[in-house]
Amino acid sequence: MQSIPIAFTPFNNLADDECQERIRAARAKLGKKAVILCHHYQRADIYQHADLTGDSLKLSKLAAQTDSEYVVFCGVHFMAEVADIMTAPHQIAILPDLAAGCSMADMANLAKVERCWRELGEVLDVENEVTPVTYINSAADLKAFCGEHGGIVCTSSNAGTIAKWAFERRPKVLFFPDQHLGRWTGYQMGFPMDEMVVWDPDLELGGLTVEQIRKARILLWKGHCSVHQMFQKSHIDAFRAKYPDGLVIAHPECNFEVCAASDYVGSTEHIVKTIKEAPAGTRWLVGTELNLVDRLAKEVLPQNKIVQFMATTICMCSTMQRIDPQHLAWTLENLVDGKVVNQIKVPEHEAKLARLALDRMLAIS
């Protein structure tokens, strides 16, 4: 079955309630032929339909264990790419709205990474001195680049383990696209700040001197998550002043000052697990996406745990929000009619190299 263009326009004017009914009806008709994956950051009116929930890698691994023909990923583009790479050939990965991207992933593209690699090669024996490490929040062609050049993929959960693996093989790491996860990982490993330098892809030699490049152990790509940059140390200071016994947990995509001031730092899965397993009556300030925080706050309220969002302004992943009831209803109803819309298919040569980098990660973490 091939993905073909089908007009979405008629669904634009459907009320949310009607969409919810049509989603439930379509799911009932599809049965086990389709599995719906929902990332932790997904909006509540979509999350309620999830068969499987979790972070991006966990969802792709779980989808690969199903027999479902259709893998409907309610997340963003790079997540659906990973699902396509990791699932069986007969399984079809679908993203309900192709506009659901990731601004951080877009900050590193293949052309800029390849130019960086060439420029590093003017200063270093790059193939023997530098291991490229890409955060899973990146396009498939960057994962393929890492596969081709002896590199690897990491997640926010296993970045430390992956970095250790990388440094056992070569003395330097090129880490993209999120500088904050890379910096926090390096700091946890004991690297001084002057050995972790930011590579600006829009400047010659990344805006660095030859001496800085030679001295650096970690070259951090100038990229970030716009959601996690909303959180500031001042938010933590205000919370601690009001609640001295309160606890702070942040995602490592937050800036260094926020991570350093937090009691716990970890992935979305780590945040959920830590708070759910915490003693009753504890109060938490959480630095990650609002949908996850709101959902978690409701889940732990019966244990008298108070969970607060760190920022003082509303802070959601805007591209994740694009997966709405209208797009999900449209996607599922077309599947009922035997039509695949918005299939995500990674080219075979890219998928093979990207899978190599992913397999290296899975083998050691």
Q: Say whether 135 sits in a helix, a strand or coil.
A: strand
pLDDT tens column, 196-230: 999 999 999 999 999 999 999 999 999 999 889 99
Confidence of residue 6 (pLDDT cuts 50, 70, 90): low
The CATH classification number of 9-100+319-346 equals: 3.40.50.10800
pLDDT for 343 beyond 70: yes
What is residue 14's predicted lDDT score, i.e. its pLDDT? 87
pLDDT tens column, 321-330: 789 999 999 9
What is residue 101's predicted lDDT score, i.e. its pLDDT? 87
What is residue 66's predicted lDDT score, i.e. its pLDDT? 94
Confidence of residue 1 (pLDDT cuts 50, 70, 90): very low
Rounded to the nearest angstrom, the gap between the alpha carbon of residue 295 and the centroid of all alpha carbons in its chain is 18
For the chain, domain boundaries: 9-100+319-346, 105-225, 228-309
Report the amino acid identity of residue 94.
Answer: I
Confidence of residue 9 (pLDDT cuts 50, 70, 90): low
Spatial neighbors of 295 by CB under 8 A, at least 6 apart, are: 40, 44, 47
Q: How many CB atoms lie within 10 A of CB 236?
A: 22
228-309: CATH topology is Rossmann fold (3.40.50)
pLDDT for 315 beyond 70: no
Q: Mean pLDDT throughout 342-357?
A: 97
CA distance 238 to 240: 6
CA distance 192 to 332: 51
Q: Could you tell me where the beta strands, DSSP code E, fall in 85-155? A: 92-94, 130-135, 152-154
**Fold: same for 9-100+319-346 and 228-309:** yes
Q: What is the DSSP track for 6-59?
A: ---GGGTT--HHHHHHHHHHHHHHHGGGEEEEEETTS-HHHHTT-SEEE-HHHH
Pick the CATH number of 105-225 from 2.115.10.20, 3.40.5.90, 3.40.50.10800, 3.40.1180.10: 3.40.50.10800
Does residue 139 contact residue 354 with C-beta atoms inside 8 Å? no
Nearest Cα residue to 71 out of 335, 323, 330, 354: 335
Q: How many CB atoms lie within 10 A of CB 323?
A: 27
Between the two ends of the chain, the Cα-to-Cα distance in Å is: 35
What is residue 204's predicted lDDT score, i.e. its pLDDT? 97
